[in-house]
Amino acid sequence: VEKFRKDYAALPYSIDSVDLDFNVQTDETLVTSTLKLTPTGGGPLVLDGEDLRLVSAEVDGKELPKDAYELGEETFTLHKPPSSPFTLKTVVGIEPAKNTQLSGLYESSGNLCTQCEAEGFRRITYFYDRPDCMSAFTCRVEADKKKFPILLSNGNEVGRGESGDRHWASFEDPFKKPSYLFALVAGDLGGIQGKFTTKSGRDVDLRIWSEHRNCDQLDWSLESLKRAMKWDEETYGLEYDLDVYHVVAVEDFNMGAMENKGLNVFNTACVLAAPQTATDGDYDRVLGVVAHEYFHNWSGNRVTCRDWFQLTLKEGLTVYRDQTFTEDQTSRAVKRIDDVRVMRSAQFAQDAGPMAHPIRPESYVAMDNFYTVTVYNKGAEVIRMYATLLGWPGFRKGMDLYFQRHDGTAVTCDDFRSAMADANSVDLTQFERWYTQAGTPTVTLSDKKIDGETFSLTLSQSCADTPNQPASEKQPFHIPVSCALFDKKTGKKVDEQLFELREASQTFSFSGTVTGSPDDYVVSLLRGFSAPVTAKQELTQDELLFLASNDDDSLNRWDAAQQIYTRAILDEFTGDAGKGDSLDAAVATFRAALNDKSGDPSLRALNLAVPGFSELGLKLDDGFDPVKLCEALSSVKKALARACSTELKEVYASLYSDAPYDVEAASVGRRRLRNACLANLARAGGFEQQSVKHYEDAQCMTDQLAAAVALAGEATKEREEVLGKFYESAGNELVVNKWFALQASADADDALETVKKLVAHEAFSRTNPNRYRAVVNTFAGANPRAFHAADGSGYAFIRDEVIQTDKTNNQVAARLCGSFGTWKKYDAKRGGLMKACLEEIVKTEGLSKDTFEIATRSLK
Ligand code: ARG
Ligand code: ZN
């Protein structure tokens, strides 16, 4: 059934406290729940529950007669609850080892852990499993001492004991919370310990746990956690509020990590880091995700969501907080470009497809389908716009007021917007449209004029159709458009302004005196990606080259280079390559990045990277041939590498270093640029021997992986040699995932064949999401040439995977099913084949609601 945002209704009972008792047995775990309820509206009490075996139910100590309650597929209904406060006690049996959905209480490598967001708590016990039901939790866990030596739950441990081969521990969480923040962990874990003293003097015991074999890879996450705690105090004045903070790494996890109060549970991929097993990118991810989950303690836990439609209230805000944290910890310019790339490739693509939704969706069937790049990353851009419009001090005032007003409660996106408006005495009514309207707006610069000595320009906005929202009904957004004006002759900046575009079309002026014609000047538009929109202006090749070297906004300098590359690739695609000079301009841009010896090496590497398949596809009209686009893309990439092979070799050689590994920006940048050169040299051809040497000389995973990737595209003996060694020497399971993924994404003629072998490999797993996605989702998402093979073989493979995996893990299958969502973009033949896959999926018997929702939305 579809749920709608407009249908929100307050609960008829509050659950003031919940006491949980977990009795962990070999197959079944018995969960006894004691709820103290108070009527706030009365009527029948309808609690959520899924896959539970009800053992007993009593109200105020009396066993309920059979006709007093009713069990539905997903509910427990008490027909006539008492009209004054009462106690409901239920006992249910659950089977964690059989829980392949990885939602609720499940087993991972023999240990028990929970994942309750969004709706997993109902798979543990009967409850109001929605975020506006906030309760005081106590919890007791009893289990076998040998098998489960470590017992953890939220909050403070308040008791512990043992008898025979059993032991138990009990916990009390002093903060009221919704059920999605509940957590329990029981297992044989090792870990490391640290300490953080908050600014008001609270000593916090920091514990990072994992399976024993991974305990040597936990130091970086502890360091990341300490940095995040300090940063949140310094930046927002926010302190941690419990005496202990646990992070537990588990191998089987659907998402990245979970912010359960005082007891975060993490995918190993977002915690473990050591030079031999993790790349620089992995280090960054650990830093970012550890911080993200920590920041949730305020933006998410202390102030939570009233209903799941409000998800971006906590996720957009927390992503914004982790992004700016990483900007402060590493390089602001590099982090910003990395984030903008995600927006332009993944988020803009979602906006352009059948799953397009506002950051605050209006309806859902399976909430887990809405943990999207739109809710998270576009949501973060929306938060960033508040900061841009209000300035940092104004934004901070808004944040202070938000926490002051709403601490300890479950609220809405409108409450957040009101806090921002009220703290600054500004009107943010129009700003609500970012929450109600889906799609990527386009901001077009037209009409540049000089009147007297003033330069003025006209900006207009539009937004394409999205599901249920025709373009003609969309209202103008309130868009901060950061612009600068440059003088072509001197290369100097004349002026810089933040224009607030609120109407369909508006004219703005720069200050500063100008003379001559508008063509003597260049506008740098949407600096810093000041809004999640597509910026458009007609620029000549020379103007783009001018911006690529003169703009003082690093994001727009990079963007100018991207536009130059885009022109070359699209010219190649349409067959116009011979006519213009677009490839020459691309080569010049590429060469300039290589030769920019004094520039930040990370930025130089980013300027060597051309836009990807998804981003380019958004620039083409519907009905294009995706394989032809892949070919144009790789032909331009090859041409760039071949034209600059001398410079590439020179820069590559100059960046060798045998200094010990560290993750300082300078070292990361050096590796990033050196490995970008390697990738290009491999593309140019004849670099196999050197790639093998790169692999042999590598002192860290970053360099090893780069060498393996450089070789993966061609069936050579060097590829076999290096891939063989890579697998043999893999230091942990995450490295094995990289081995799988690099083959599944390889732009090789034998890609599908390879992937089919990988699925049959002894180390492949259908139940471990990381392993599964490394092969299957990587193929569908990162190997467009093979996925879109003209004979439909790539589609058929993914269709069968969706159908099979849906039987065990709905969330993983639903994500994978999203791969077919772009069918309308491609030529009739491919579109037809993809559509047929969706139809096949929809009619599968017993399909989950998750996959059903994605498939049916995609077909509309
Ligand atoms: N709140 C988590 C985070 O972003 C994500 C959990 C999502 N889980 C899910 N099954 N949808 O930090
Ligand atoms: Zn989050």
CB within 8 A of 268, min separation 6: which ones?
210, 214, 249, 250, 251, 253, 733, 734, 770
Q: Ligand 1 mean position to 257 CA, how many Å?
A: 6
pLDDT band at 249 (very low <50, low <70, confident <90, very high): very high
Give the mean pLDDT of 16-20: 98
pLDDT score of 55? 98
Give the mean pLDDT of 268-297: 98
Q: Ligand 1 mean position to 296 CA, how many Å?
A: 11
CA–CA dist 827, 570 (Å, integer): 17
Give CA angle at 342 (792, 257), nearest 5°. 95
- Which pLDDT tens digit goes with each residue over 754-806? 999 999 999 999 999 999 999 999 999 999 999 999 999 999 999 999 999 99
Residue (of 846, 836, 844, 842) closest to 857 by Cα position: 842
Give the mean pLDDT of 211-226: 98
- Specify which residues 62 forms β-bridges with: 59
Atom number, ligand 1, closest to the C-alpha of residue 315: 4
Ligand closest to 257 (CA) is: 1
Report the chain's C-alpha Rg in angstroms: 28
Q: Residue of the nearest CA to atom 11 in ligand 1?
A: 368
**Residue 107 Cβ < 6 Å to ligand 1:** no
- Which pLDDT tens digit goes with each residue over 525-580? 999 999 999 999 999 999 999 999 999 999 999 999 999 999 999 999 999 877 77
Q: How far is CA 66 from CA 61, 78, 85, 125, in A?
A: 15, 10, 22, 19
How many CB atoms sit inside 10 A of residue 662's CB?
Answer: 10
Q: Ligand 2 mean position to 318 CA, how many Å?
A: 6
- State the helix-helix crossing angle for 332-342 and 601-608, rounded to 10 degrees: 20
pLDDT band at 738 (very low <50, low <70, confident <90, very high): very high
> Is the pLDDT confidence value at 596 over 90?
yes
Q: Residue of the nearest CA to atom 5 in ligand 1?
A: 258
Contact 403, 321 (CB under 8 A): no
> Is the pLDDT confidence value at 225 over 80?
yes
How many CB atoms sit inside 10 A of residue 338's CB?
Answer: 17
**Residue 322 Cβ < 6 Å to ligand 1:** no
Ligand closest to 321 (CA) is: 2
pLDDT band at 351 (very low <50, low <70, confident <90, very high): very high
**Residue 260 Cβ < 6 Å to ligand 1:** no
String of DSSP letters for 383-412: HHHHHHHHHHHHHHHHHHHHHHHHTTSEE-
Amino acid at 799: R
Amino acid at 294: Y
CA–CA dist 831, 828 (Å, integer): 5
Give the DSSP H/E element, type plus range, for residue 449: strand 441-451
Tokens found for residue 677: 């050169």
Tokens found for residue 762: 């002894």
Residue (of 97, 78, 266) closest to 734 by Cα position: 266
- Which pLDDT tens digit goes with each residue over 711-723? 999 999 999 999 9
**Residue 254 Cβ < 6 Å to ligand 1:** yes
Tokens found for residue 356: 């397009």
pLDDT score of 658? 93
CA atoms within 13 A on the CB side of 225: 32
pLDDT score of 578? 75
Give CA angle at 209 (203, 210), nearest 5°. 170
CB within 8 A of 542, min separation 6: which ones?
none
**Which is it for strands 441-451 and 410-411: parallel, antiparallel or unpaired?**
unpaired
> Is the pLDDT confidence value at 729 over 90?
yes
Instruction: For tokens 């990033």, name the residue.
Output: 672
CA–CA dist 465, 379 (Å, integer): 20
Residue (of 245, 246, 326) closest to 285 by Cα position: 326
Q: Residue of the nearest CA to atom 2 in ligand 1?
A: 258
Q: Ligand 2 mean position to 377 CA, how many Å?
A: 11
**Residue 315 Cβ < 6 Å to ligand 1:** yes
Instruction: For tokens 């290096």, name the residue.
Output: 722
pLDDT band at 694 (very low <50, low <70, confident <90, very high): very high
> Is the pLDDT confidence value at 69 over 90?
yes
**Residue 339 Cβ < 6 Å to ligand 1:** no
Which of 258, 312, 319, 365, when mutated, tests ligand 1's pocket best, judged by the most ligand atoms within 8 Å of its CB? 258
- Which pLDDT tens digit goes with each residue over 799-845? 999 999 999 999 999 999 999 999 999 999 999 999 999 999 999 99
String of DSSP letters for 229-271: HHHHHHHH-----SSEEEEEEES--SSSEE--TTEEEEEGGGT
pLDDT score of 576? 86
pLDDT score of 580? 76
pLDDT over 90, % of the chain:
99
- Specify which residues 143 forms β-bridges with: 167
Amino acid at 586: A
Give the mean pLDDT of 612-624: 98
Atom number, ligand 1, closest to the C-alpha of residue 296: 12
Residue (of 177, 164, 125, 135) closest to 21 by Cα position: 125
Residue (of 820, 824, 825, 822) closest to 851 by Cα position: 820
Contact 155, 261 (CB under 8 A): yes
Q: Ligand 1 mean position to 682 CA, how many Å?
A: 38
pLDDT band at 389 (very low <50, low <70, confident <90, very high): very high
pLDDT over 70, % of the chain:
100
CA–CA dist 186, 559 (Å, integer): 49
Q: Ligand 1 mean position to 550 CA, how many Å?
A: 41
Atom number, ligand 1, closest to the C-alpha of residue 254: 10
State the first-to-last Cα distance of the chain, in angstroms, to the nearest integer: 17
pTM surpassing 0.95?
yes
Residues designated catalytic: 293
> Which phi and psi angles does 107 have, rounded to 5°?
-100, 135
CA–CA dist 551, 560 (Å, integer): 9
Give the mean pLDDT of 84-95: 99
